[in-house]
Amino acid sequence: MSCSTAASVLSVIDRDKYDVVPIGISHDGKWVLESGDADRLALTAGHTPEVNADAAAVVVSQDPARREIVVAGPGETPHELGKVDVVFPLLHGPWGEDGTIQGLFEIGGIRYVGSGVLASAVGMDKHYMKIVLQAAGLPVMPYVVIKPREWEQDAAAVRDAVHGLGYPVFVKPARGGSSMGITKVRDRDGLDAAVAHAHEFDPKVLVEAAAEGAREVECGVLQRPDGGADASVVAEIVGYGSHEFYDFAAKYLGEDGVELEVPANLTEDLRDTIQQLSVQAFEALGCEGLARVDFFVGADDRPVVNEINTMPGFTPTSMFPRMWAESGVEYPELVDRLITLAADRATGLR
């Protein structure tokens, strides 16, 4: 998904305004100078793109006074590629949007797009995200956290806690992304297998009560130059096609039957409430730049926050850019605004 997002941004970024240096991270953690070929990096049903691990290696300088990227080919002495003004970390999931790479940029004094270390980490960890949102007075779905030691030492007690939520439930990696590792469990017999599947992605698991029959809506948040934040139009996922829920394939592979409504058909009061809650969630976590906030809306028209995503899907067909396009900010302008915001903000504590 990260490659697909990068491909989309590379295809629209203003090359007359920005000198673009495409850097990829391979599966084995190697930083390389990518070609920037948007077509090769695009995600399709028959093609899962990967970073070219054989490309020239890249090293990030950690000298706050320099803010430079260094590149070297195999066996070569690293040479300076140039001073980097802003990094656009188009990375989804652990190590990319969970505060880790943001911390690296902070150490190096390098400006970057998006939320800082704390907001990124809290937004990625659904357990602590819920704690922070609840403390800010925002409604969340009932949940149970399964930590590795608890599951190993007293799985029966954990099962009892999950049963208390009622079925069905969603079992998901606590720090996962793109709907990977998620299972909808309809009765207690399916719980253990779902936990084992989530454990393939994260040792900590979150089990959440299912919002059966609820509408699933989303809202984008974009920071203003003055530090405030604006909410986009609200969108709705109105059909999953052949999928039981809005999983990875339904989100990113453009499969038939998936229906998205942008903007959603909501009453003015409900739309305003969701937009207000979205900005409140953004501010509660201390987010910067951008975020997408997802909600469930029950029959009583009361929205409940599902989660906040500090680096949402960012292809032109992803919800976040589509919502902002409907709000009057087209995709190229959205990219430009995010880069400008990052370039204008201070490094270090802020």
pLDDT of residue 80: 47
pLDDT band at 324 (very low <50, low <70, confident <90, very high): very high
Contacts of 251 (CB under 8 A, 6+ apart): 178, 179, 313
pLDDT of residue 254: 53
pLDDT band at 348 (very low <50, low <70, confident <90, very high): confident
Q: Kindly state whether residues 251 and 318 are assigned to the same domain.
A: yes
Mean pLDDT value across residues 76-88:
65
pLDDT of residue 195: 97
Q: Kindly state whether residues 52 and 148 are assigned to the same domain.
A: no
Q: Kindly state whether residues 201 and 218 are assigned to the same domain.
A: no
pLDDT of residue 165: 97
Q: Kindly state whether residues 238 and 322 are assigned to the same domain.
A: yes
3-state secondary structure of 345: coil
pLDDT of residue 335: 96
Instruction: Please write the tens of the pLDDT for every residue from 11-53.
Output: 889 999 998 888 888 877 777 777 766 555 555 555 556 667 7
pLDDT of residue 33: 77
349 or 135, which is more confident?
A: 135
What residue numbers bound the domain in which 193 lies? 143-209
58 or 184, which is more confident?
A: 184
pTM, entire model: 0.86
**In the predicted model, is pLDDT for residue 263 greater than 70?**
yes
Q: Is 350 within a domain?
A: no
Q: Is 101 within a domain?
A: no
Report the percentage of the chain scoring pLDDT > 70. Answer: 81
Percent helix, strand, coil in the chain (nearest 5)? 30, 25, 45
pLDDT of residue 79: 42
Question: Which amino acid is it at 60?
Answer: V
Beta strands 143-146 and 111-112 are unpaired
Q: How far apart are CA 334 and CA 233, in angstroms?
A: 15
Tally of structural domains, the chain: 3
